[in-house]
Amino acid sequence: MTSVSANSASRHPRFSRVNDLWPWLCAASVALSLLMLGALLTLLLVRGLGHFWPATLEEITLSSGETFAGQAVREVALPQQDGDERLYFTGNQDIDGVRWRWVAIDEIVERAQPTDLIRLDRSPWGDFIGRLVAIEQHGQRWEGDAAWQQLATLLKLPANQRQESQLLLTTVDGQILRQPLANVVSAQTPNAMAWWQKTFAWGDAVWRFLSEGPRAANTDGGVWPAIFGTVLMVILMSVIVTPFGVLAAIYLNEIAHQGRLTRLVRIGVRNLAGVPSIVYGVFGLGVFVYGVGGSLDEWFFSDTLPSPTFGTGGLLWASLTLALLTLPVVIVATEEGLARIPEAQREGAVALGATRLEMLTRIVLPMAAPAMLTGVILAVARAAGEVAPLMLVGVAKLAPQMPIDGEFPYLHLERKFMHLGYHLFDTAFHGEDVQAAIPLVYATALLLVLIVLVLNLTAIFLRHYLRRQRGNEC
Amino acid at 206: V
> 35-43: long-range contacts (C-beta < 8 A, 24 or more apart)?
41/449, 43/442
Site for another protein in 378-397 (CB under 8 A): 381, 384-388, 391-392
Least distance from C-beta 106 to another protein, angstroms? 20
Q: What end-to-end distance do the CA atoms of the chain give, in Å?
A: 35
Site for another protein in 46-85 (CB under 8 A): 76
Site for another protein in 5-24 (CB under 8 A): 5, 8-9, 16-17, 19-24
User: 118 or 269, CB closer to another protein?
Assistant: 269
User: 71 or 242, CB closer to another protein?
Assistant: 242
Of 236, 315, 371, 448, which lies in the binding site for another protein, with binding defined by CB under 8 A? 448
Site for another protein in 294-333 (CB under 8 A): 313, 324, 327-328, 331
Q: Does 356 bind another protein (CB under 8 A)?
A: yes
- What is the C-alpha to C-alpha distance for residues 155 and 122, in angstroms, rounded to an integer? 12
User: 133 or 296, CB closer to another protein?
Assistant: 296
User: 111 or 362, CB closer to another protein?
Assistant: 362
Q: How are the residues of the chain apportioned to helix, strand and coil, as percentages rounded to the nearest 5?
A: 60, 15, 25
- What is the C-alpha to C-alpha distance for residues 317 and 321, in angstroms, rounded to an integer? 6
- What is the C-alpha to C-alpha distance for residues 49 and 41, in angstroms, rounded to an integer? 12
User: 120 or 327, CB closer to another protein?
Assistant: 327
Q: Which of 188, 332, 179 is closest to 246 using CA atoms?
A: 332
Q: Which helix (H) or strand (E) holds 165?
A: none
Of 78, 177, 201, 354, which lies in the binding site for another protein, with binding defined by CB under 8 A? 354
Least distance from C-beta 162 to another protein, angstroms? 38
Contact 427, 220 (CB under 8 A): no
Degrees to nearest 5, angle at CA 100 with 94 and 103: 130
Least distance from C-beta 441 to another protein, angstroms? 6
Least distance from C-beta 83 to another protein, angstroms? 15
Q: Cβ neighbours of residue 160 under 8 Å, at least 6 residues apart?
A: 182
The four Cα atoms 450, 452, 458, 459 give a dihedral, to 10 degrees, of -160
Contact 413, 16 (CB under 8 A): no
Contact 402, 379 (CB under 8 A): no
Site for another protein in 232-291 (CB under 8 A): 243-245, 247-248, 250-252, 254-256, 265, 267-272, 274-283, 285-287, 290
Least distance from C-beta 115 to another protein, angstroms? 34
Q: Site mask, another protein, residues 98-137, x = CB under 8 A?
A: ----------------------------------------
Site for another protein in 400-439 (CB under 8 A): 421-422, 424-425, 428-429, 434, 438
- What is the C-alpha to C-alpha distance for residues 463 and 254, in angstroms, rounded to an integer? 22
- What is the C-alpha to C-alpha distance for residues 159 and 182, in angstroms, rounded to an integer? 5
Least distance from C-beta 169 to another protein, angstroms? 33
Stretch that binds another protein, among 84-92, 95-103, 163-171, 448-456 (CB under 8 A): 448-456
Least distance from C-beta 443 to another protein, angstroms? 12
